[in-house]
Each structure stands twice: as C-alpha cells, then as structure tokens.
Amino acid sequence: MKVLMINQPMSNRGDESAHRAFVRSLLKKMPEILITVVRVGISPDTIRQFKVDDERVVYVNLPRNKGYLKFAKLGLQKGLYFLWGILPTHRKLKKMILEADVVISAPGGICLGGFQNWEHLFLLKMVQRLNKKLVYYGRSFGPFKEESELDRCFKKHSIEILRYAFFLSIRDKKTEKIACQLGIPYYPTVDSAFLETPRVKIPKEMVSAIEGCPYIVFVPNLLIWHYAFRGKSLKKKFLIFMVAF
C-alpha cells in the first residue's frame, strides 16, 4: 500500500514524538506499507530531526514557489481552482496524491479551527477534489470562527472535508463534542505520541530523589504560541506562574 502523509506539523517536540510513534506503528502493523511524507519549503535540518529511519519511509521536501500559498488560498476563497495547476509544486502535489492509495493527514493540533491554517486546508481540499481516500488521524479541530466572510469560508470547507474523510479519529473530548454538534461521525483515540512506550535510563540523581515513588515528567509550556493568547503580553506572567510551583 502506498501512503502519502501530508500536513505533518514540525518544529515541535510533541509533534515529533507523535510522528515517530505513528509512523513506526504503521510500519509494524503493515510491513508492506510504503510511506511518503511530503512537506513544502521546510529546512532540511528540521526534517532530519523528525525522520524515521526506515527504507519504507521517504521524506520529500518540495520548493515553496512564489505564489504557492496565495494561489492555494485563492482557490479556496474564490473557487479559482484552476490556479492549482499553474505552479510546479502544486502540480507535483497533485501527482503525488493521485499516485497514493490513501492520503493521511498526520496527527497534530487544531489547524482546522483555532489556528485557521489555509495551507493545511488547501492540501485536504486537493485530496477531496481528486477524489482520493483521506484519513484525518488523531487530530483536534474547532472552534470555527464566523465573524467574517473568510471565517465562514474556512468553516464551510473544513466541515466538507471532515465529512468527506473515510476515516476520522479525534484525540480529545472537546473536539468530540464539536463533531457531535456538527453530526460528523468519528473514532475516539489518544494522542499519537502514546502509541509507543519508550524506555530510557533514569539518571542516578533522579532515582535517588524519587526514592521509588510514582512520578510523572512535566514539561512547562509558556502557551504564548496558542491562538487564544495572540497579541497579549503574557510571557512574563506565565514565567512567574511556573516559577511559583
């Protein structure tokens, strides 16, 4: 089976863990699978950090042609889909989608919804327009804004795609609630990072400190990247909050 994986989030260690665990799980369950992971205009070093080293997995980094995102958005916002046949990268993406048996949108966050990621939406829409099987796996989505015409356009396409997917799995209860409100069938799942249970040696100093007691590893996050906190000067407040513990 030839699988094309699109929309892989990068530059985030959580997304890296989810990617590695998900890909290795696919390889383990389907030994004959061939996976191509495609991204556009990503630094080679970023891809190197994410790679799963296996001969059945190939990473393709296409060039970001001038007008790549502009033409993608115009197709979605104005119905000018013919623009998706002009640029070399758009044509290459189309060819790769057509050659795949199934297209998987990689596990990750709320690109459909809060972050309103038009490139993410564009790739999904291209899969739909080419009538290829789509898996939207281990994702969150929503809430969908409706304040402007572009908000409503994004929501309309997003819901169409979520209903088009022949397999949709959701990783959190809040998104499950939104799916139920929209009447979209889904399968509940966990974050893909939990598909694996890695084992590592714990430093002696830490072993001594926990003295055999149960423990968790908590990684602080400033959260200032989140769409709900955009434009707000919260970095100092978050740091004070974390240090207080």
pLDDT single digits (tens) 116-135: 999 999 999 999 999 999 99
Q: According to the model, what pLDDT value does residue 15 have?
A: 87
pLDDT at 180 over 90: yes
Summarised one tens digit per residue, pLDDT across range 194-203 is: 888 878 888 8
pLDDT at 76 over 90: yes
Q: Alpha-carbon distance 122 to 144, whole Å? A: 17
Q: Give the pair of three-digit tokens for residue 214.
A: 């149960």
Q: According to the model, what pLDDT value does residue 245 have?
A: 66
| In CATH, 2-195 is 3.40.50.11720 | yes
Summarised one tens digit per residue, pLDDT across range 154-169 is: 999 999 999 999 999 9
- Indicate the pLDDT class of residue 107, thresholds 50, 70 and 90: very high
95-104, 194-203, 219-228 — most confident range: 95-104
Q: Which residue has the higher pLDDT, 110 or 98?
A: 98
**3-state DSSP helix/strand/coil percent for the chain, to nearest 5?**
45, 15, 40
Within 134-195, strands assigned E span 134-139, 167-170, 187-188
What residue spans define the domains of the chain? 2-195, 206-244
Average pLDDT over residues 9-29: 91
114, 75, 110: which is closest to 94 by C-alpha? Answer: 75
- Judge whether 124 and 134 are in contact, CB under 8 Å: yes
- Judge whether 169 and 137 are in contact, CB under 8 Å: yes
- State percent of the chain over pLDDT 90: 70
Within the chain, strands assigned E span 2-6, 34-40, 57-62, 102-105, 134-139, 167-170, 187-188
Q: According to the model, what pLDDT value does residue 240 have?
A: 80
* Number of H-type helices and E-type strands within the chain: 9, 7
65, 35, 61: which is closest to 47 by C-alpha? Answer: 61
Q: According to the model, what pLDDT value does residue 95 have?
A: 98
Q: Which distant-in-sequence residues (6+ apart) come within 8 Å of 205 by Cβ?
A: none
Relative to beta strand 34-40, strand 57-62 is: parallel
Q: According to the model, what pLDDT value does residue 25 have?
A: 96
